[in-house]
Structure formats: C-alpha cells, structure tokens
Chain A
Amino acid sequence: MRFIARYAKDLGKNFEVIDVFDEEVKRVVISKENPSIKTLAKKYPSAIWFERKMSDDFGIVIEDAFDKRVLVHQERFPHAIHPMLKDFKEKEIEFSEYVPYKYEVVSGDGIFQVSVGPIHAGIIEPGHFHFSQAGEGMLHQEVRHFYKYRAIEKMLEGKTLFEAKPIIERISGNESVAYQTLWRDITAMACGVEIPLEMRKRDAFLLELERVIHHLTDLGFIPNDGGFGAALAYASKLCEDARRKMKELTKSRFGFGSINFEQSFWDVESIKIYLEQLQKDIDFFQDWIMDIPSIWDRFDTTGILDVNNCVKYGGVGVVARACGIVNDRRLNQFYLENGFESVSEVSGDVSARFKVRLKEVQNSIVMMRNFLQTKSFSVELDDVKDGEYMSFTESSIGELFMSIDIKDGVIERFFARDPSFINWQTLHLMMRADIIADFPLINKSCDLSYAGNDL
C-alpha cells in the first residue's frame, strides 16, 4: 500500500485522524482529553511530516515517534498555540521568545555544518537546507520549510466553495490549474452534477498546458544549473510563448480563474498552429541537448534516488517516474483514449528526471491536440450538499490530493496534500554520493513547490 496523507479533524469533543492510502482510507477517533496516537512513520517514513504538522496544528501527541520536533511552528512561534482547533480564532499573534531549532546533524572530527536559506541566492521561494559536510561530500541534509505558511487551511474554514476558489487557485502558482481541477471535481460532487465530457477536455487541455509551461521552465533551468546557459535562453523563450498562450485562453498567464463551469471560446485553428510549432521547437531542443556531452557528464549518476527508497517513502510524480515507478493519476480511460502514454526512466538520477520532463512535454502536445474541440456545454449547479469529498489529480509535480468537508454549506475542514510534501522528504536520500556543489542541480531537477508544501 502506498501512503498518501495523514491529517486530523477537530470534531468538538474528539479528534478524527484520517490515514489515506492508495487502496483505502482508515479513520480513528481519539478523545481530546488524551489526544495521542501511534506513529505510522516506522513503516511509512514520509508520515513523519504529517504527524509533526498534526502535533503543531492540533496538539495531538504522537506517542512513539522518533522525531517530535515542531514542523510548522518555527523559532518565534508561541508553542502553546494549536491554531487548527476550532476554538482558536485569533487573527494576530505576537512573536514569542526565540527557541532554537535542533537540526538533524552528523557530527565528528572535521565535520562541519552548512546552513542555506531561507533566502536563497536566486529568484526562488524561501526554504532552508541544512548540510552536514565532510569536505565537499554531503553526509546528511535536512530540509526545513514552512517559511511560506499562510495558514490557508484555517483561512478557508467558514467559506463557501465559491468564496474559497480564488484562494485555492493561488495556493501554488505553478500548479494553479491542478488545484482548480480538484476544486471543480469537489464542487461537482457536492452539487451532485456530472461534469460534461467537453468541459473535462477543456480543463485537461489547460492542465497539460500548465504542465508544459512548468516542464519547459525546468528544461531550461536544469541545464543552466549544470553550466549550460544557452538551454535556458532557448527553453525560457518557449516558456514565455506558452505563458502568452495561457493568457490568450484564460486571461491569466498562470491560468488563475480558468477552470469554471462556464463555456470558453477558443480559436482552435490558431492553437493547432501553435502546437505544431511547439512540437518542432521541442524536437529541435531534444536533438540539440542530447548531443552535448558536457551536460550529460554532469547529469548522469548525479542525485540518484534508489527505487526502494522511493517506494518506501511513497514518492510521487516526476521524481517517482524517473526511478521506474509508474505512478500517475492520468492512468485512466479518459486520458488513455486521448493519447496518454506513461513515461518513465530507470536510473533515478538528474538525467532521468530531465528526460521524463522532455518526454512528458512531447506527450502533452499529443494529448492537447486531442483535447481540442468546439462543442459547447452547459452545467446547471444545484445546491451544495454537506459531506466529505476527496479528489486526486496529476499536477505538473505529481499526484495532488484534496479533501474538503462541507457542513451547513460552508467549508468545515480543508486539506490539500501537495506532491511536494512527500517528495521534499525524499530529497535527502538523493544526496548521499554527491558533493555540495551538486545540490542546486539536484534540487532543481526535482523542482518542488515551496508554496504548495507550506500551504
């Protein structure tokens, strides 16, 4: 069984803890008087972040956990506060006394620590990486995030699905369409309507366009981090073209507000011409980049994620597919009928992740052609019914999961698990055989989201 998520709900007198696996959903109710639960992390290591987050959010004690440090609540956060409890209603909290965070380190003669972040040396999101170094070699690395923690789960409580929409689409700018797709699924379920095929095709087109944009960014930045800047110039031009296409279709370069229950009117012919050109440009890029030995010398065998480790941690998305695990939420009839082909590599290194992205762009272009259609659709939405709704999709990073509880027509509990939340925890496993100068390359090859992770 693959572990997907673990999260809690405040039921008033009790907590409910929900464990989501690919085959089943397990639930357990624990009393608030003695809120403790056993860890899952001994079997599923990536459960540890979920559990640490649960402790911060609700004050639930994880009895036998090997790591009981705070996760979301950083040095200056008042530690007695558990903000996801229903009776916590403050809109402002003060900085409390600075309590240093104890990093996981390897120590010994001549071993030193390197701290990187939260503000990095480029235009990227904030996050912290802590290395234990023996000379250039990395002995251990700890990823520490949640600098972007905006408390979106709490922010959305008490809102209707439609009020929540603009916030949900801005959880992670790189995955906006994917988040909106899940919102659409949940809204349709809650209103008891079937999503018309034409609408699913339109949304799937946008999701693939978003994937193309994200992959193109990486196809430029990964070689750039490997010291080959020309690829960045080439790919960032294609990326800009794709963003402008996104703007033409949705009025936003990031697809904000693009998934809704209204009909869109697209100029199908001009999109076809664009896709034709993109196909040619990508084929050219592939021929070119595959022929540059210095790049592959840098990519091959760098940052290997062992397939066993990936399975153990439940890795998802590009990272998992690059080590041979066919794990893709698009493996269903709808996508297969429209030309989806599962892409995977076996070496698990930077070059595998690069190749997976390149092939996925090519596959996305094929699918986007098939998703184009001119038929109209209309959807009549009924009233929202109370209940618990869950949905999955494949964002450009990997499997995205969202669960929304609706009570009296408004959101009672919102939970989203970004693919990055799992994959960040596998990052340290890729570092064992490499030097610290390889870290930016390895990190970029995974290109995980900080905003989606921190929520």
Chain B
Amino acid sequence: MIRFWNKRLKLGVLTQDLEFDEELEQIKKAIKSEVNKKFAGSLAIRMVDSGSCNACEAECNALANPYYDLERLGIYFVASPRHADVMLLSGVMTFNMTPHAIEAYKQIPEPKWVITMGDCPLMKAPFEKTFAIKAPANNHFEVTHHIEGCPPEPREIIKGLLEFLRKI
C-alpha cells in the first residue's frame, strides 16, 4: 500500500494531463458554473438503458475515471429516478423495456428533463425497425437534448451535457 501511495503522489492529478486539456478544462468550468446557477450545485442524472449494446453505458462509466472525473463538477449518476433531475436515455426502446422506461420517467420529480444519447434512441444506429423496437424515443418522451454518436465519447457526453445546461 505504501508503494501505491508513493506512485499516487508522484503521478499527481491525472485530469490535468490531457492532450485536449485546455478545451476540456473550459468546458468543465462552464459546466460547473451552469450547474451552480441552474441546479444549486448538483445535477442528478438517472441513466436508463432501453436496449443498447452496452457501449453507451461503458462510456458513461468512463466519465467517472480519473481522466474525466465528472463528479467533481457536481454531476452525479444516481441510483433511483426519485433522486434525479434528468433521465439520460440510451438504446432503441425495446418492446420489453419501454413500459419500464416510461415508469422510471414518471418517478422523477418535477421539474424533469430527458436527454437521449447515442444513435439508437433516434433510430440512426444500424439497427432497423422490428416489432420488438419502439424507438424513436420522442414518441414517448419530450426530449430536451440529444447527444449523438455511436457511442458518444466521454468528451462528447460532457460537451452534450453543457449544451443541455445552456438550453434550459
């Protein structure tokens, strides 16, 4: 464990060590101020997967790694829709998952917003419409913002969240 702390102290803060560092730092600053202004310092997101390939979830998990560390900006992924301000929706809205996604949305207290991510919720991913797919998502929700990409990279998700914050 001592060796770990030695390494840790030598390495310093990883988030300051990026090639797109400056751009990202600016976005992060902007996000922090928007979150402070509009959500009193903390924006709570409930991520709902309605039938993705799991790549979007992996990228959202990546937001917590030491390179991005989203939580220090006041943005949290929460465990229950009842704790959330925003539903972040990925996937093609499968037949089996649609009722549950709608239920999750209902459980979010007002005011609430829906952000879609990835190409799936708009049916722009290579998947084609079948009987088991109920996308596009805006048939079911009023979607405030969309983060495109298949899947969007962590940096694009951060940018997308900033655009959302500016919109509302």
Query: Chain A residues in contact with chain B, CB under 8 A?
Result: 74, 76-77, 81, 83, 90-93, 95, 118-119, 121-126, 146-152, 154-155, 166-167, 170-174, 176, 217, 230, 233, 236-237, 239-240, 243, 253-254, 256, 284, 287-288, 291-292, 449-451
Contacts and interface: CB of A to CB of B under 8 A. Distances in A.
Interface of B: 1, 3-4, 7, 14, 47-62, 64-67, 77, 79-81, 91-92, 94-97, 99-100, 104, 125-133, 150-151, 153
A288 B4 contact: yes
Nearest to A174: B54
Contact of A172 (B53, B56, B79): B53
Contacts, number: 146
Nearest to B100: A118
Contact of B49 (A126, A171, A172): A126
Contacts of A239: 62, 65
A151 B58 contact: no
Nearest to B153: A253
A185 B126 CA distance: 21
Contacts of A233: 65-66
A167 B129 contact: no
Contact of A92 (B53, B128, B131): B131
Nearest to A76: B99
A150 B77 CA distance: 26
Contact of B7 (A76, A150, A256, A284): A284
Contacts of A74: 96
Given A93-B95, A123-B61, A150 B127 contact: yes
Nearest to A167: B126
A256 B131 contact: no
A170 B125 contact: yes
A450 B91 CA distance: 13
Nearest to A239: B65
A189 B7 CA distance: 50
10 contacts: A125-B49, A147-B96, A147-B100, A148-B51, A170-B126, A170-B127, A173-B55, A230-B4, A240-B67, A288-B4
Contacts of A76: 95, 99
B57 A125 contact: yes
A262 B101 CA distance: 41
A309 to B, nearest CB: 27
A119 B77 contact: no
Given A95-B95, A126-B49, 6 more contacts: A150-B130, A152-B127, A155-B128, A176-B55, A253-B55, A451-B52
The 4 closest A-B pairs by CB, nearest first: A173-B55, A121-B79, A166-B126, A236-B65
B94 A149 contact: yes
B79 A122 contact: yes
B125 to A, nearest CB: 7
A236 B66 contact: yes
Given A92-B131, A170-B126, A236-B62, A149 B95 contact: yes
A149 B96 contact: yes
A76 B95 CA distance: 9
Contact of A119 (B4, B14, B48, B92): B48
Contact of B1 (A119, A176, A288): A288
